[in-house]
Amino acid sequence: MRIEKTMKNIVYNIANTFMVTILKFISRTIFIKTLGITYLGINGLLLNVLSLLSIAELGIGAAISFSLYKPLAEKNKKLIDALMSFYRKAYMYIGYIILIVGLILMFFLEYIIKDSGNISNLKLIYFIYLMATVIPYYFSYKETLIIADQNGYKLVPINFIFTIATTTFQIIVLLLYKNYILYLLVQLIITFIQRIFINYYINKKYDAINFKSKEKIPTDELKTIKKNIKALIIHKIADYSIYSTDNIIISSFISVTVVGMYSNYGMIIGMVNMFVILIFNGATSSFGNLIVEGNKTKQTDIFKKFDFLGFWIYGFTSICLLLLLNDFITLWIGKEYLLGSSIVIVLCLNNYLVGMRTTFNVVKSAAGLYDKDKHITIIHSIANLIISIILVQYIGLLGVFLGTILSGLISQIFKPFIIYRELFNEKITSYFKRQFKYIISLITTLYITYIATENIVLENIYFNFLLKTLICIILPNIILYIMHHKTDEFKYYKELNKSIMKGGVQHRKT
């Protein structure tokens, strides 16, 4: 049953992600054509500003979700009631805090947004965004219960229907009225209705659960929750500093229009990674089981295979993005929205490095090593802000992303030491030797693929892009296969694929 639910969650999420990606492209295209790049910049910037306020959540959701697994499995209704009641109260207070702090922050918008162009009613726009951020806190706590119960896939069709409704009505508003405020109000109103509907659905499905219970959480359980929250607070603040401040720095030191141009690249890279992340998220619980077994040799072996998978997938996607991004942007919305080649190179390099950090972050999460690397995370986040702010004043936009890469090397180098010290039975030098081989392999693959694609010059720009895309999909995988097909890691995935295919055939026969 557990495997069946896991597969349903993965399949539903992949299908939903694919459809949402298409809708996002359609909506983004019409948005740019009707409102322009400055409004797109405001859109991206305010999302980042308000995600700062979401730090007030303090990791409570993740901590409660972790605490729900055991009582759900044991059908311990009393503890589930207590946890959900605690969660509801916590989110109510968090909603109030975000609303108050958000209203105060409204009076400092002029210092955050540089060169807002002809955009008026900025405070009203910000207020709508703020309400869209606050409202979910009064409803979404119940979603954690259904997700922890491995029934999250049942919400996918509901969310997809509301996504279609939101996108459709927003497109109509853009085409008929070209009004950004109406565009935002559509999203706010439909999101509110969506939350009420999901809330009603969960109440019916879990009608035995008392979300306003007077039950108290046992002392030991409460200690575990508090410990997890304390560890997650640091990581949430640091992650915001690392991944969500670029737009604010760009807006403050360059312009909000440049934020809009960059957001197109960020959206495409993010969409590619949404599919990749689904693969790695599914591996966390499996690795957690290995850690519980305590077999360090097996843990080391599986980590190598996991690391190899990260190298192949993130290396391949980064090469494709590097060689195709600007061509795609040109065909999609025009050359006037392009960023320089040096910036694209840095963005794609950062994509690979962040991807490779994902592999040991998954291991860290499975092992619960949040406390062990918090100091590295803090240094990484502070360095990111300092370096980016210094470099942006000398080399502009490129400096922001170079700051992200240079500071990221702190985590790239030092976090593996912690994981190897705590979990594995081999020296850290083996890890860095492996990473060096992977980088050399990717540089070689990139060079050959670049030479092959640069020699394509067809009169029809769409056929030219299509052929270039096919080469980028096929050639890097052939080269990586030639280089790595004799490794134990590749042989493992080859056998695993055979096993899955064989199982699928047998299942269809029965």
Domain locations in the chain as residue ranges: 1-244, 245-501
Range with top average pLDDT, 290-299, 372-381, 393-402: 393-402
SS3 content of the chain, % helix, strand, coil (to 5): 85, 0, 15
Phi-psi label, residue 437: left if phi above 0, alpha if psi -120 to 50, beta otherwise: alpha
Q: Hey, how many other C-beta atoms are within 10 angstroms of the C-beta on 378?
A: 15
- What is the per-residue pLDDT for 509? 46
Average pLDDT in the 149-175 region? Answer: 89
- Give me the sign of the Cα torsion angle 458, 463, 468, 470: negative
- What is the per-residue pLDDT for 262? 94
- What is the per-residue pLDDT for 507? 43
Q: How many residues does the chain have?
A: 510
Instruction: Classify residue 119 by its DSSP letter.
Output: -
Is the pLDDT reported for residue 152 higher than 80?
no
Work out the burial of residue 372: count CB atoms within 10 Å of its CB; fewer than 13 is exposed, 13-18 middle, 19 or more buried. Answer: middle
Question: Mind listing the pLDDT tens digit for each residue in 219-241?
Answer: 888 887 877 777 777 777 777 78
Range with top average pLDDT, 181-195, 299-313, 451-465, 496-510: 181-195
- What is the per-residue pLDDT for 473? 95
Average pLDDT in the 301-326 region? Answer: 92
- Going by pLDDT thresholds of 50, 70 and 90, the confidence category of residue 510 is very low
Question: Mind listing the pLDDT tens digit for each residue in 68-98?
Answer: 878 887 889 999 999 999 989 988 988 898 8
Distance CA 109, CA 105 (A): 7
Q: Hey, how many other C-beta atoms are within 10 angstroms of the C-beta on 235?
A: 20
**Per-residue burial over 59-84, b = 16 or more CB atoms within 10 Å of its CB, e = otherwise:** bbbbbbbbbbeebbeeeeeebbbbbb
- What is the per-residue pLDDT for 235? 74
